[in-house]
């Protein structure tokens, strides 16, 4: 570190521009607000513009600029338009957070039809791939950047009943490794965040079900599910110089979820 420079300075994002997909609510909104608090201006993308405008207002109250852009990141034309608007407004993109994701069905593999496969993989994997490709070109021109792919613990350990989603999230972990290897030469770092169950609209089928929630809480070392704000710290770390020697890896943020070990232990040492 240079004399007079503090480790805290390495987490600062002043003068940086971040693009966050799914920035209107849940984990994406929390990440966007965290990046803005660390100093970044933020381009927010999702399909519903009024929701984005509300988050943009929160960011402007923190003294940062925000550009809300309505974009369905399944579609290449909308990806192109999104990146063009970001560059027209700010001239650069330093941080990309691929976050908008979906799971349209809880079903066994035999029940997954082509439409469900296309809906899940089309957003979770194809969308991440082509937005990374478009933003990667901008970053290569400007000398580098940081890409953060929000995956899931379900991409590491399969979630039965959400097999297609698990496959898509495992694909994101490999996408992260491939991009990191290809783009290290351009000073573009690519890392992932794998959350466990976090309280958002997306995961309400899990935490809104008492039995599933209690099983999830019991199998986490911290004994609870996560809040969206608890993902923001990992995002600021990966976006910033604090992680300057890290690429190709995925940080797990799941409250210490080791289901088989804890479930076994709870049978012989029940909670008081």
Ligand X SMILES: NC(=O)c1ccc[n+]([C@@H]2O[C@H](COP(=O)([O-])OP(=O)(O)OC[C@H]3O[C@@H](n4cnc5c(N)ncnc54)[C@H](OP(=O)(O)O)[C@@H]3O)[C@@H](O)[C@H]2O)c1
Minimum Å distance from CB 109 to ligand X?
Answer: 19
Q: Which of 16, 74, 85, 126 binds ligand X (CB under 6 A)?
A: 74
Indicate the residue among 13 and 194 with the shorter CB distance to ligand X: 194
Residues 92-111 binding ligand X (CB under 6 A) are 99-102
Using CB under 6 A as the binding rule, whether residue 198 contacts ligand X is answered as yes
Using CB under 6 A as the binding rule, whether residue 218 contacts ligand X is answered as no
Using CB under 6 A as the binding rule, whether residue 138 contacts ligand X is answered as no
For residues 147 and 248, what is the distance between their CA atoms, to the nearest angstrom? Answer: 10
CB atoms within 10 A of CB 214: 10
For residues 224 and 221, what is the distance between their CA atoms, to the nearest angstrom? Answer: 8
Contact (Cβ atoms closer than 8 angstroms) between residue 176 and residue 188:
no
Stretch of 111-119, 131-139, 196-204, 244-252 lying at the interface with ligand X (CB under 6 A): 196-204
Coil, strand or helix: which one is 25? coil
The DSSP code for 224 is: S
Q: How far is C-alpha 269 from the chain's CA centre?
A: 36
Contact (Cβ atoms closer than 8 angstroms) between residue 83 and residue 134:
yes
Minimum Å distance from CB 63 to ligand X?
Answer: 23
Residues 142-181 binding ligand X (CB under 6 A) are 150, 152
Minimum Å distance from CB 84 to ligand X?
Answer: 16
Contact (Cβ atoms closer than 8 angstroms) between residue 221 and residue 153:
no
Residue with tokens 């909670």, as numbered in its chain: 271
186 in catalytic set: no
Given the rule CB under 6 A, which residues bind ligand X? 21-22, 24-28, 45-48, 51, 71-74, 99-102, 123, 150, 152, 195, 197-198, 200-203
Catalytic residues: 165
């Amino acid at each position: 570190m240079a004399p007079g420079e503090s480790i805290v300075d390495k987490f600062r994002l002043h003068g940086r521009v971040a693009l966050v997909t799914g920035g209107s609510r849940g984990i994406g909104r929390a990440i966007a607000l965290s990046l803005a608090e660390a100093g970044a201006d933020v381009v927010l993308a999702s399909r519903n513009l009024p929701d984005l405008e509300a988050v943009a207002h929160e960011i402007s109250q923190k003294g940062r600029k925000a550009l809300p852009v309505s974009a369905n990141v399944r579609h290449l034309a909308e990806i192109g338009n999104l990146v063009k608007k970001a560059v027209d407004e700010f001239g650069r993109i330093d941080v990309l957070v691929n976050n908008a994701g979906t799971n349209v069905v809880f079903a066994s593999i035999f029940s997954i039809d082509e439409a469900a496969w296309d809906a899940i993989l089309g957003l979770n994997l194809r969308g991440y791939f082509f937005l990374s490709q478009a933003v990667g070109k901008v970053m290569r021109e400007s000398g580098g950047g940081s890409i953060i792919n929000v995956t899931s613990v379900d991409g590491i350990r399969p979630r039965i009943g959400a097999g297609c989603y698990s496959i898509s999230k495992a694909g994101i972990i490999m996408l992260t490794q491939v991009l990191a290897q290809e783009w290290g030469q351009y000073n573009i770092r690519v890392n992932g965040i794998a959350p466990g169950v976090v309280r958002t609209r997306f995961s309400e089928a899990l935490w809104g079900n008492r039995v599933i929630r209690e099983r999830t809480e019991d199998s986490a070392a911290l004994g609870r599910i996560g809040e969206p704000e608890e993902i923001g710290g990992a995002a600021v770390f990966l976006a910033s110089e604090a992680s300057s020697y890290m690429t190709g890896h995925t940080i797990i943020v799941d409250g210490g979820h080791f289901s088989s070990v804890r479930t076994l232990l709870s049978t012989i040492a029940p909670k008081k």
